[in-house]
Amino acid sequence: MSLDDLVAKVTDPYERQARLYPALLALLPLLAMIVLLYGPKASALTSAVSTAVSCGGLYLTSNLCRELGKRLEDKLFLEWGGKPSTQLLRHRNTAIEAPTKKRYHSFLAAKINEPFPDKQQEVTDPDDADGIYQSGIRWLLNHTRPDGNKNLDLLFKENIAYGFRRNALGIKPVGLAISVGTILWTLTKEQVFVGPARHFIDSAAFISMPETAIASLIVSTFMVSLWLGFFTKGSVRTIAFTYAEMLLRACDIL
């Protein structure tokens, strides 16, 4: 059974793309190293993976990734000053023009049977105002679930993109450790490290490494760059606010 066959067992698009893919990215350098460096012996790995999948391994992996992402999410919202969707509904936030925001307020207020606060009320009791905003967002989330409505397809895709980046950032320490570990393992296996403390590099051994070892190093190095350069709080914040704004636009199509 190939990796594609295993992944195909996760049929839910969100589960597969937002939860499973980040976990597989974390494992990619390890899987690549085993296949490239140990060749035919890697068949044992395939059998082990197939057995793990049969015992719920993919489900466990995706849930662990989701848990790490959700734990991180609470910390990020605290750093950012609240949930992105709540922030966008605040009068003091200017990301959305006033007339559009007023329309969103009116729509959501009617749906939850609760008047939205004006500017002064928001200043006087910001916590109460946020509670009303979040109630409106909760209604919106409950009524924008994927159900075949093509008008909501783009929203669903943005939700997946946000979940993917959030969960990838959550599992980043694990992915980074695996990437660095596989680099060190490959260099050690090819006897590139010399000296009692292994602090020195044998340039001749490095240059003469087989293509399989070089390929493994390329994969691991690329993943290190990806974890450090792309999966950051900044990239998660960007997609979080993009998704939040797209969610609010649903007020105009519901």
Instruction: Please determine, for residue 52, whether its predicted confidence score (pLDDT) is greater than 80.
Output: no
Question: In whole angstroms, what is the distance from residue 254 CA to residue 250 CA?
Answer: 6
> Which tens digit of pLDDT belongs to each residue from 24-42?
899 899 888 888 888 766 6
Cα angle at 195 between 194 and 200, to 5 degrees? 60
Confidence of residue 1 (pLDDT cuts 50, 70, 90): very low
Residue 193's DSSP bridge partners are: 201
Q: Where are the domains of the chain?
A: 84-161+235-252
Distance CA 172, CA 240 (A): 18
Average pLDDT over residues 45-56: 58
Contact between 23 and 171 under an 8 Å Cβ cutoff? The reply is yes
Predicted confidence band of residue 5 (pLDDT cuts 50, 70, 90): low
Prediction pTM value: 0.86
Q: Six-digit token pair at 202? A: 């044998």
Q: Element (H or E) spanning 193, and its range?
A: strand 193-194
Q: Which of 61-75, 80-94, 181-195 has the lowest mean pLDDT?
A: 181-195
H or E element at residue 201: strand 200-201
Per mean pLDDT, which of 57-61, 66-70, 237-241 is the most reliable?
A: 237-241
